[in-house]
Amino acid sequence: MSNQADTRQKSNMPRDTSFNADALVRDNVRRMKPYSSARDEFSGEADVFLDANENPYPSPFNRYPDPLQAAVKRALSPLKGVTPEQIFLGNGSDEAIDLLIRAFCEPNRDGIIITEPTYGMYAVCANVNAVRIVSITLDEHFDLDLSKFPSLNDPTLKIIFLCSPNNPSANLLNRARITQLLEEFQGLVVVDEAYIDFTAEPSFTSELSTYPNLVILQTFSKAWGLAGLRLGMCFASKDIIAILNKIKYPYNVNIRTQELALEALSNKDQKDRWVKEILKERARLIDALQGLAITLKIFPSEANFVLVRVSDAHGIYKQLMNLGIIVRDRSNVKLCDNCLRITVGTPRENDKLIEVLKQIRQ
């Protein structure tokens, strides 16, 4: 492929409108009958529930949760501009990553494309499921270089995983190049937007009606401050979402998680205030890092962390650790030699980090 998307007229692009999720899915998944839980078979109003072998005595959690999390999806739908049928919720977005691979990739035959350095779970889930990984290295700006991609006509390549803003580099991927992949790839293009709340760039959710092969991942683990709850979001066509629902565990999101997610969604201002504060601190942290002798390069950040190239990442990591400050040493990752990934903390945490870094011996 070539990097031609930047200059091409969108209206002239060839669109393959024949995308059909059911044709892409693994044969066994297409043919199988999903498990039907008691709560799937009856979801109306009743007084006496003797259908699910639950304990009738009222602990707060004696009943199974709603398998399809209807209330959470109803609250998310207007916020994200998608219908409830276009939403899958899982045990973190990691669950959606795993299910996408299991639904669409035939073990020992199919493959996925990842663009490294990137979030590690795409490769882990592929490896667990005996799915081939085609790894493309990002360019020196951690952006997509489409000329490095293999032919997109290989029918055994099922999913391209893109992460934007990217972890660990913190930058956005070029939107026109993502769009070109959506246009030209016959499989799924997954855009992982775990860090979307920390950038002014719009989400790809607005493109769902244009691209039937688009899948978007978001999470409650970052801006929403709920990493411990384990709740991830996946947005796609209703056909793709139906496939994920077909193979998920029946009760994959517990009652408490659904309740607390609803509570968080009813108080979106809190999330927005946190994001504002984190962005302010990100700017302050970058400013302080810029003045340090150990800093060689700070990569632009559109996320709640900063990737910094330093004089000796391993040594600095160890010195910080000895003082009780834990950052992520990413030196062993492609294109990231001598790089530390630093999450933006509270003002007090950032002050402490900066203070210590100022005194570090090189």
Ligand X SMILES: Cc1ncc(COP(=O)(O)O)c(C=O)c1O
User: From the list 25, 146, 194, 357, which residue makes contact with ligand X (rule: CB under 6 A)?
Assistant: 194
In terms of Cα–Cα distance, which of 29, 167, 35 is closest to 104? 29
Judged on CB neighbours under 10 Å (0-12, 13-18, 19+), 121 is middle
Of 92 and 111, the one with the shorter C-beta distance to ligand X is 92
Of 19 and 119, the one with the shorter C-beta distance to ligand X is 119
Of 179 and 221, the one with the shorter C-beta distance to ligand X is 221
- d(Cα 236, Cα 214) in Å, to the nearest integer? 6
Q: Which residue is nearest to ligand X (CB)?
A: 92
User: From the list 110, 183, 192, 302, which residue makes contact with ligand X (rule: CB under 6 A)?
Assistant: 192
Which amino acid is located at 131 in the chain?
A: V
- d(Cα 208, Cα 210) in Å, to the nearest integer? 5
> Backbone phi, then psi, for 4, in 5-degree steps?
-95, -5
Beta carbon of residue 254, minimum distance to ligand X (angstroms, whole number): 15
Instruction: Tell me, by CB under 6 A, how many residues bind ligand X.
Output: 12
Chain centroid to CA 17: 26
Beta carbon of residue 303, minimum distance to ligand X (angstroms, whole number): 9
Backbone CA torsion sign across 290, 294, 296, 300: negative
| 117 lies in the site for ligand X, by CB under 6 A | no
Q: Which of residues 76-95 bind ligand X (CB under 6 A)?
A: 92-94
User: From the list 119, 149, 299, 317, which residue makes contact with ligand X (rule: CB under 6 A)?
Assistant: 119
Beta carbon of residue 38, minimum distance to ligand X (angstroms, whole number): 28
> Backbone phi, then psi, for 265, in 5-degree steps?
-65, -30
| 171 lies in the site for ligand X, by CB under 6 A | no
Binding footprint of ligand X on the chain (CB under 6 A):
92-94, 119, 163, 167, 192, 194, 219, 221, 227, 232
